[in-house]
């Protein structure tokens, strides 16, 4: 009797039960490995350097370069005039 993967109602014998358990454990282990690999990729991507870089990039998108440059020049002129 060939069983479908997720239909445990078809289990009638101890051998079928053991085969279903082995398949289930295999799927669980494969999913665990996939989660561990995914976690490793996420962990390597979100380093402190990449978080700071991304934060600066997002902050600079909202700032006007000309506004910042003009305020720096204005402050510099005030300090030089003293």
Within 13 Å of residue 62, how many CA atoms lie on the same side as its CB?
5
SS3 per residue for the chain: CCCCCCCHHHCCCHHHHHHHHHHHHHHHHHHHHHHHHHHHHHHHHCCHHHHHHHHHHHHHHHCCHHHHHHHHHHHHHHHHHC
Give the model confidence (pLDDT) of 26-81 as tens digits.
Answer: 999 999 999 999 998 998 888 888 888 888 888 777 777 777 788 889 999 999 98
Contact assessment for residue 50 and residue 39, using Cβ atoms and an 8 Å cutoff: no
Q: How far apart are CA 18 and CA 39, in angstroms?
A: 31
What is the pLDDT averaged over residues 10-39?
Answer: 93
0.75 surpassed by pTM: no
């Amino acid at each position: 009797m060939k069983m479908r993967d997720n239909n445990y109602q078809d289990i009638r014998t101890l051998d079928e039960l053991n085969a279903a358990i082995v398949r289930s454990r295999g799927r669980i282990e494969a999913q665990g490995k996939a989660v561990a690999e995914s976690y490793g990729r996420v962990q390597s991507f979100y380093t402190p350097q990449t978080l700071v870089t991304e934060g600066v990039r997002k902050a600079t998108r909202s700032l006007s370069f000309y506004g910042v440059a003009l305020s720096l020049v204005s402050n510099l002129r005030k300090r030089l005039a003293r």
